[in-house]
Amino acid sequence: MHEVSVMSSIIDSVLEELKGYQVERVEEVDLTIGALTFLGEEQLKFAFEILTKDTLLEGSILVIDTEEVEVRCLSCDYLGPAEVLENEGFHGMVPILHCPRCGQGIEVTKGKSCLVRSVKAVEKDVPIQG
Minimum CB–partner distance for residue 38 and Zn ion (Å): 24
CA distances from 60 to 21, 28, 29, 103 (A): 17, 5, 7, 44
Q: Which of 102, 108, 114, 116 binds Zn ion (CB under 5 A)?
A: 102
Q: Which stretch binds Zn ion (CB under 5 A): 33-41, 46-54, 63-71, 100-108?
A: 100-108
Rounded to the nearest 5 degrees, what angle is found at the Cα of 72, between the Cα atoms of 32 and 85?
Answer: 80
Residue 41 or 107 having the CB closest to Zn ion? 107
For residues 69 and 59, give the distance between their C-alpha atoms in angstroms, rounded to a whole number: 31
Task: Tell me which residues in 17-76 interact with Zn ion (CB under 5 A).
Answer: 73, 75-76
Asked if residue 97 binds Zn ion (CB under 5 A), the reply is no
